[in-house]
Structure 1
Amino acid sequence: MVYIAHVRENDQEIQTVSEHLLGVKRLAEVFGEKLGLAHVAGLAGLLHDLGKYTDVFQEYIIQVAFHQEPAEKKRGEVDHSTAGGKLLFSMFHNKNNTPQEKLLTEIVGNAIISHHSNLHDYISPDIKSDFLRRVRDKDLEEYPLAVERFFEEVITEKDFKQYVYNALDELMQFIDSSPTQIFFLTKFIFSCLVDADRTDTRQFEEKRKEVQDSQFGSLFASYYQKLLNKLISFKKGKKGNEQINKLRQELSEQCDSFADKPSGIYTLSIPTGGGKTLASLRYALKHAQKFDKQRIIYVVPFTTIIEQNAEEIRKILEDDIHLLEHHSNVIDDEEENDELLDGLITKREKLKLARDNWDSPIIFTTLVQFLNVFYAKGNRNTRRLHNLSHSVLIFDEVQKVPTKSVSLFNEALNFLKKDAHSSILLCTATQPTLDHVNHSLLKNRDGEIVQNLPEVFKAFKRNEIIDRTGTQINNNQLADWIHSNAESWVNTLVILNTKSVVKKLYEALKDGPLPVYHLSTTMCAVHRKDILNKIKKLLKNKTPFICVTTQLIEAGVDVSFKRVIRSLAGLDSIAQAAGRCNRHGEDGVQDVYVIDHADEKLTRLKEIKTGKEITGNILARYKKVAEEYDKSLLSYTAMNEYFQHYYKKMETDLNYYIPKVEKDMTKLLMATRRENDYLKAYVKKYKAGFPLVLTGSYKTAADYFQVIDQQTTSVIVPYGDGKEIIAKLNSVKRIEDLSKLLKRAQQYTVNVYSQALRQLNQDNAIVPHLEGMIYELRENWYSEDYGVDFKGEGEMDFMSF
């Protein structure tokens, strides 16, 4: 008899269970070998779909694939992911098994039973074990039959046991038995399995077996030479002998020399405007060649930086194919278990199989996406994790890591350095003191690339901070002040702390004598890019105008205004705002005004409010003892003091506290057995010892994790090619074409908060596509001025773009 794993929808060709299990095993071995864990990952691949050997699954797949009967007929009867975990548990998690064998069983077993959902809790807040419920307690009617067929068709029982012992040897060489490392190890194995499963299924659907090639050494060598050629052209150019460009050249050369050092966690504290994008790329390309790294990953706080940096690097490297921009997940991550979808490769399944695993040699992504890989629910996120190993990761504007995620961020980087053979570069003019907190970052000693930092910061001084916070100012007063000075200032950038105040100021200014531009996160990436291009043209022509925006412009956006006004916030934000003023030192020293805005409501913005208070204290102290700060509010000394005070004041907020379970997320994931309150409660409740080695609450933690405070959903907006992309997504059939479209669609999406999404749905402004996996915004709800327009009065002049 032929046992079916998948059926292609277009030609009803079948992939057998044995073909799929062995195919996933081979791919998982390739992925797992990156950490010396080929057999551990391969074991998960070998067992993950063992339950497809049951008659009930075979009847189900035949019905839906060949007789078009609805899958709902077998709902609840086609659990095919439990059997593999159950087999492993029954053979290697008994009284006579060693703690190491049990540990292997729990790590691999969790990946197997979770590959259609999220990793399970070993023990949960309700003092139960979802893991044990599946692998030990769940009754699977045809389980013995499935196991018999598995040992007949796929691997003999003797060879299987030997494979498990090979996996055990690898695990013992890898682990240090800390709960923190074991959490990341479990995530890594889960990542290998999910990506191997989806890749093998996609290759079957596309009728090809591609080679998994992660060796990009020759590509990095050609990129490095192109970059050096570009830097030489800068040096020989008209402005090559200007002091600021000589400084940039010197810093770039320091990065080149530093790349010869072994992988670690290093800092690159280049002042704003010091050329850190190309300097960090120079480090990454040279280091990747010398130490055989598989990819280079830029992680940035805002999508605006992705757009700019990717375009700059793409032009220099003369390559559009091998650079991936990953802004957000266009497909809505379904929360329910998707096990029932596995088998027949439908349009919905193709969307999930689309290449979304970060296997490109150079990747640009956001802090949100990076943190989601390690901590968020949805196996689409975790799928990418194994590709972070053996990489160079460059964190641009690292000070923007959300405060509540600082400990989680540090632990992820420590794992990448210690166990995943990656090198990490923290780039910013305003380095946070991440090594001075609990769950501290394991930076390398003498890990700062830039030599003589205080002198370098002095040499890059291009503006003066003017403190105007003595008296609060409201929006009307601010508008009057700007109107009265705007022409003499030529071009003015105003950065405020909240979107609502920015929008009101824009409305107050737009009927004035000068052109006014507005930037917002409610605009899609292409829309913002179009506005920034217009702004850059006006700046180049020295045409008077005004730009009002939130902090999205502060990090990495290459613009240079004559005058900047910044609402009081953290000192790092003020420094970044100052970096948009006189960026290239073209006008001597220019003024950056810091104001205290009366209309901003910061009650729910604790990070901004706390940063504002600490900066206010430093401003007051600076007036008395300016020499202690090297007579600069933006000095290295001032910034270091700011962050030490900030993290001390926010100390209780660094570990991602979850109110609903009254526990830090670090405790849910990384507590020792002695620290685990749930474990103590289990012993008291059941009057027995807890039967598992691991005690993490992985599913609970993922369920509550959100990088930003509210859940957002990506919505494709009717700007530019947005409508065309929606039409193509509805009609395209090939997975490869879907992958390309989904990447392109990211540029035309806006992340909408859940409350706003509900309102848009009530107003019939949202059109769902592909069974609610993708959302489209109707045309009247998108505005040229504001982006997503919640009043439904949007008007777009599409001909002008």
Structure 2
Amino acid sequence: MYIAHVRELDKEIQPINKHLLGVQRLAEQFGEKLGLKHVAGLAGLLHDLGKYSDKFQEYIDIVAFHPELPQPKRGEVDHSTAGGRLLFELLHHKESSFYEKLLAEIVSNAIISHHSNLQDYLSPDIESDYLRRVQDKTLPEYELAIDRFFMDTISKEEFIDYMNAAVDELKLFTDHSPTQSFFVTKYIFSCLIDADRTDTRSFEEQVEAGEPTQHLLLFDAYYRRLMDHLATFKEKSNASEPINVLRAQMSEQCDVFAVERPSGIYTLSIPTGGGKTLASLRYALRHALKYDKQRIIYVVPYTTIIEQNAGEVRKILKDNEHILEHHSNIIEEEQEGKGDSDEADDGLITNKEKLKLARDNWDSPIIFTTLVQFLNVFYAKGNRNTRRLHNLSHSVIVFDEVQKVPIHCISLFNEALNFLKQDAHCSILLCTATQPTLEKVQHSLLKNRDGEIVPNLSEVSKAFKRVELVDKTDKSMTTGDLADWINAEIHEWGSTLVILNTKSVVKDLYERLQGGPLPVYHLSTSMCAAHRKEKLKEIRDLLEDQVPFICVTTQLIEAGVDVSFKCVIRSLAGLDSIAQAAGRCNRHGEDESQNVYIIDHAEEALSKLKEIKVGKDTSSNVLAIFKKKADKYEGSLLSPKAMTEYFLYYYHKMEANLNYFVSEVDKEMTKLLMSLSPENDYVTHYQKKHGTSFPLLLNGSYKTAAEHFQVIDQKTTSVLVPYGGGKELIAQLNSGAWLEDVSKFLKQAQQYTVNLYSHELKQLRESNAIVEHLDGMIYEVKENWYSDNYGVDLKGEGGMDELIV
């Protein structure tokens, strides 16, 4: 019996052939969703072929059964290269067809990379780590491993037939473009990673992989519950009011559109307060039922929207079990090793290994996640991210507040959505009152023609108008000026929301307003989700009871947070941000009209916040045009025409930033991943350096791109904080009790984490405020460094809050 894994608990053995065939079966299921059953299955069948070597068998025997002997270095035996090399040797030679070569390059890269990141076919230093692995690296027991594979797992004849079936699948699927080849490689890689981890987890937990969720039965029940909920609106006394009639009409339009139009990329431009969340859910459920979609995924810019929308949906659908909130990765990916020694699977399933095997693969029927997590699935390093990709196929994906896609990720975002539409059988809904012109940029989004669900947007926008924008930008204000103005006018205004562009000026204003005429609240991304949720509940209670107060915050409150203030003050920023801020004023039409003041804050440091700076400048231009010729924008700065013109100006000014530029290698990300050979100067340099043509069809620098990709400019790290239930989770973490159900622990922990920038994490470490668990895979913040007012407190004064009355 050849060993693949040994369970640490009872030293039970999982044979290699059982593991390979188990991973093959799962990978086939995942690949079949795109018509690539055998392509994905081939990766599963070959991925651990190298474990058939004597060297690996001796290694795992010592590690698992002989702790008294000197222990070899973890992962020192390369077991992932052999399967990739076998495929390359069989399919990649002079006589091979285009499709055979393409299959070899796609699948063998997934195999050799399944414990790291996909390898570079050609790197910026004009080397091919991929070729070095599949062609040049010395593998002493390669032939022995292959012989055992064909004797123990599958006959050579069966294998050749299977491989040819994979070639035929790819031939039918491919459009010969490097863009599609990148996404297909990622997809097959995702199938392999999830299949490998799922099979290993099943062995570890001594259970067979569960039956897939009956998603259509669930969606049918959900749809009926949603319709029952919507029916209650018709019974209310104000149901016949024009605004409520219009809400009901737009909801009905979503239902009809979902059935009549096939899957594609569409827009839903319901104004703020128009019932966008329930209307988009109605579209998603109806479309999923009609076109057999397997899951519904909501992608939002901020965790605050996840918290609110997921809670609302759970309440209406009456289901907690099948609705996943995925805020961030609780566990940090281990630092990737150098060279080929990073064979993370040494066969022994330890507690640390359980973290990697935890079910973190987005297989829930309804998922709420963030733009960061969505983009990480396609472009970031770390197998935990890529593992989720195959579960995006056959989905309805709703992007809430889509205008918040970071500017440097626009091209990558559009390319990912185009793949999901064209090849992965997804229907995509772009939801916002402020639609960006993503179809008007270089890497354009392939929106469907006549794809807006709500007709007559101008009339709808006018019907929902509830505020007047008051331009006070002629003279800039300091924080002191702003505080004086607020204190002087607050009794006239009532409950007031102040939104500024940076956390530092928000904190300064909050402190200046303390002791003033009204209570002051502060919201920050330095607070964990559970903390913000509690603060927002207090804020909503005060608003409902009509108790005047002031709330000071950043843009985190703008998108999707259902609050309605009497007055809003917004520091000048992009017109979309101003419109979103206006949506927090008189949101439910409590008054005929209220004021939203636009100010120019003099002390915001925006030099490193280019998107906000350019948005601010572009809005200034639109404000100047509006003063001279308001009719151009139908008399409203919040009209669809004003928003379209703003985005056209904005994207034009930011044109050089739309294609993610990797300064370290002086190249755009799309060219690192998706360029034709004639357009890739790395290929030209390779041919000059080696005096021969580049031998591969694909030339992408996949690993280089992944190592340099991050959605936000600075890398952040998730840390567990001692707030509310977070204290109990930290106690579990320290006691080891969480190991009984790792997946449940990780899900709960997301409510009690904060994402810290690298400089913040460094400062806390220097203050001895960070506790590391499992060699730095999980971080915990000590209690004195978490404040009820500010969240994570870099000064370590958090514990003092309880003493201040």
Does TM-score exceed 0.5, indicating one fold? Answer: yes
Mapping for residues 459-538 of structure 1, pairs under 5 Å = 459-538=463-542
Q: Take 1:493 and 1:554, find their aligned partners in 2: how far apart are those partners?
A: 10
Would you say the 8 A contact 1:491–1:539 is kept in 2?
yes
Q: 1:799 to 1:276 in 2, by over 3 A?
A: farther
Deviation at 1:339, TM superposition (A): 1.9
* Residue equivalent to 2:310: 310
In the TM superposition, what whole-angstrom CA distance separates every residue of 1:461-489 from its partner, at most 9, and x where no partner exists? 00000000000010001001111111221
Q: Take 1:735 and 1:720, find their aligned partners in 2: how far apart are those partners?
A: 21
* Residue equivalent to 2:225: 226
In the TM superposition, what whole-angstrom CA distance separates every residue of 1:408-452 from its partner, at most 9, and x where no partner exists? 000000000000000000000000000000010000000000010
* Residue equivalent to 2:412: 408
* TM-score, normalised with respect to structure 1: 0.98
Deviation at 1:341, TM superposition (A): 4.0
Q: 1:768 to 1:400 in 2, by over 3 A?
A: same
* Residue equivalent to 2:170: 171
Mapping for residues 201-280 of structure 1, pairs under 5 Å = 201-260=200-259, 261-280=261-280
* Residue equivalent to 1:667: 671
Deviation at 1:71, TM superposition (A): 8.7
* Residue equivalent to 2:192: 193
Q: Take 2:360 and 2:346, find their aligned partners in 1: how far apart are those partners?
A: 18
2:451 counterpart (429, 444, 447): 447
Q: In structure 1, the residue corresponding to 2:678 is in which secondary structure?
A: coil
* Residue equivalent to 1:583: 587
Deviation at 1:101, TM superposition (A): 0.8
Q: Take 1:796 and 1:769, find their aligned partners in 2: how far apart are those partners?
A: 26
Q: 1:425 to 1:307 in 2, by over 3 A?
A: same
1:568 counterpart (558, 567, 572): 572
Would you say the 8 A contact 1:784–1:796 is kept in 2?
no
Deviation at 1:727, TM superposition (A): 2.6
The root-mean-square deviation of aligned C-alpha atoms, in Å, is: 1.4
* Residue equivalent to 1:282: 282
Give the aligned residue type for 2:16. V
Tell me, yes or no, if structure 1 residue 724 matches structure 2 residue 723. Answer: no
Q: In structure 1, the residue corresponding to 2:448 is in which secondary structure?
A: coil
Would you say the 8 A contact 1:342–1:349 is kept in 2?
no
Q: In structure 2, the residue corresponding to 1:29 is in which secondary structure?
A: helix
Q: Take 1:734 and 1:80, find their aligned partners in 2: how far apart are those partners?
A: 31
Give the aligned residue type for 1:325. E
Q: Take 1:4 and 1:429, find their aligned partners in 2: how far apart are those partners?
A: 57
Q: Take 2:314 and 2:543, find their aligned partners in 1: how far apart are those partners?
A: 23
Deviation at 1:210, TM superposition (A): 2.4
In the TM superposition, what whole-angstrom CA distance separates every residue of 1:596-622 from its partner, at most 9, and x where no partner exists? 000111111110000100100111110
Give the aligned residue type for 1:522. S
Q: Take 2:344 and 2:652, find their aligned partners in 1: how far apart are those partners?
A: 49
Would you say the 8 A contact 1:202–1:735 is kept in 2?
no
Q: Take 1:759 and 1:227, find their aligned partners in 2: how far apart are those partners?
A: 48
1:624 counterpart (618, 623, 628): 628
Q: Take 2:776 and 2:66, find their aligned partners in 1: how far apart are those partners?
A: 25
Give the aligned residue type for 1:156. S
Q: In structure 2, the residue corresponding to 1:582 is in which secondary structure?
A: coil
Mapping for residues 304-383 of structure 1, pairs under 5 Å = 304-337=304-337, 339-383=343-387
Would you say the 8 A contact 1:465–1:594 is kept in 2?
yes
Tell me, yes or no, if structure 1 residue 90 matches structure 2 residue 89. Answer: yes
Would you say the 8 A contact 2:269–2:435 is kept in 1?
yes
Q: In structure 2, the residue corresponding to 1:643 is in which secondary structure?
A: helix
In the TM superposition, what whole-angstrom CA distance separates every residue of 1:297-317 from its partner, at most 9, and x where no partner exists? 000000000000000000000
* Residue equivalent to 2:639: 635
* Residue equivalent to 1:300: 300
Would you say the 8 A contact 2:732–2:738 is kept in 1?
no
Q: Take 2:156 and 2:411, find their aligned partners in 1: how far apart are those partners?
A: 44
Give the aligned residue type for 1:187. K
In the TM superposition, what whole-angstrom CA distance separates every residue of 1:375-422 from its partner, at most 9, and x where no partner exists? 000010000000000000000000000000000000000000000000
Q: Take 1:166 and 1:345, find their aligned partners in 2: how far apart are those partners?
A: 34
Would you say the 8 A contact 2:63–2:72 is kept in 1?
no
Q: Take 1:340 and 1:381, find their aligned partners in 2: how far apart are those partners?
A: 16
In the TM superposition, what whole-angstrom CA distance separates every residue of 1:714-740 from its partner, at most 9, and x where no partner exists? 000010111211232344578771101
* Residue equivalent to 2:752: 748
Q: Take 1:495 and 1:68, find their aligned partners in 2: how far apart are those partners?
A: 60
* TM-score, normalised with respect to structure 2: 0.98
Give the aligned residue type for 1:197. D
Deviation at 1:557, TM superposition (A): 0.2
Deviation at 1:797, TM superposition (A): 6.3
Q: In structure 2, the residue corresponding to 1:426 is in which secondary structure?
A: strand
Q: 1:82 to 1:731 in 2, by over 3 A?
A: farther
Any gaps of 5 or more consecutive residues in structure 2?
none
Tell me, yes or no, if structure 1 residue 129 matches structure 2 residue 128. Answer: yes
Would you say the 8 A contact 2:361–2:387 is kept in 1?
yes
Which stretch of structure 1 is more off in the superposition, 311-320 or 480-489? 480-489
Deviation at 1:544, TM superposition (A): 0.9
Deviation at 1:239, TM superposition (A): 2.8
Q: Take 2:336 and 2:326, find their aligned partners in 1: how far apart are those partners?
A: 24
Q: Take 2:270 and 2:676, find their aligned partners in 1: how far apart are those partners?
A: 39
Would you say the 8 A contact 2:199–2:209 is kept in 1?
no
Q: In structure 2, the residue corresponding to 1:674 is in which secondary structure?
A: helix
Any gaps of 5 or more consecutive residues in structure 1?
none
